[in-house]
Amino acid sequence: MAIASKTKNVAVYNKLRQGIIKGKLKPGQKVVMAELAKVFGMSETPVREAIRRLESEGYIDFTPHMGAIVTKIDEGELVEIYLIRIALEELATRLAGPHIVDKDIDFLNRKNHEMEAAIQQGRYENLAAMNKAFHLRIYKAAPFPRLYKMICDLWDTFERWPSVFSYVPERAAAAVEEHKRIIEALRAGDTDQADRLIKEQKERTMEALQKYMAQCY
């Protein structure tokens, strides 16, 4: 697993970041530089540099006595981001409705089928990217690029934390069924139903994450 590159710290950074986002490294889990250096087949220096970068971006907390640990989810921040996302994504869905075309519907169906296949294969770590692509395809159909950018920025901010599917895998199958109803509402041109379904899905996801945190923290 040795990494032979002039940018070893970048390679380690990318692997650790993806490990955190995909839930392989859990909030509160200790990150030991000596162990990582051995796993990656390199000195501790590039590992230390990678951890410092992750710390600056909020993925890692580092204290002199505890060392490096994966940042715990801040429930207040999570709720704030979700409440904003719910409002903006509900609005974007309503505005996008009249502009959704067959090509968009085909994409949404295909992406949802990919999610179903990933669930059947137990590849929950791949669901976040598919789910993001599904939703952003809807919002991009709205002729309001500033609104779309605001939503994308919030999604990117939220990527500091692992996907809900990594923590609460039972949400995965439910999300696929919810997506099917969203697709049907958009196909029928029922924007009221579509934006209501989007709102309810986001609220369920937020509640699932809050419940998970209440059990674990």
State yes or no: pLDDT of 6 exceeds 60: no
By the 10 Å C-beta count (0-12 exposed, 13-18 middle, 19+ buried), 65 is classed as exposed
pLDDT in the model for residue 1: 41
Domains and CATH numbers, the chain: 8-70 (1.10.10.10), 75-216 (1.20.120.530)
Q: Cα-atom radius of gyration of the chain, to the nearest Å? A: 19
| Encoded tokens for 21 | 């986002």
| Encoded tokens for 98 | 């009249």
Q: How does pLDDT run across 38-61, given as a tens digit for each residue?
A: 888 888 888 989 999 998 888 898
pLDDT in the model for residue 59: 84
Give exposure, 93-116, as e/b (b: 16+ Cβ within 10 Å).
bbbbbeebeeebeeebeebbebbb
Q: How does pLDDT run across 177-207, given as a tens digit for each residue?
A: 999 999 999 999 999 999 999 999 999 999 9
pLDDT band for position 95 (50/70/90)?
very high
> Residue 206 in contact with residue 79, Cβ under 8 Å?
yes
pLDDT in the model for residue 217: 59
Q: How does pLDDT run across 105-141, given as a tens digit for each residue?
A: 999 999 999 999 999 998 887 898 899 999 999 999 9
State yes or no: pLDDT of 74 exceeds 70: yes
Higher pLDDT, residue 133 or 22? 133
pLDDT in the model for residue 18: 81
Question: Taking the mean position of all CA atoms in its chain, how far away is CA 43?
Answer: 31
Strand 30-31, strand 67-70: pairing: antiparallel
pLDDT in the model for residue 88: 98
Higher pLDDT, residue 110 or 3? 110
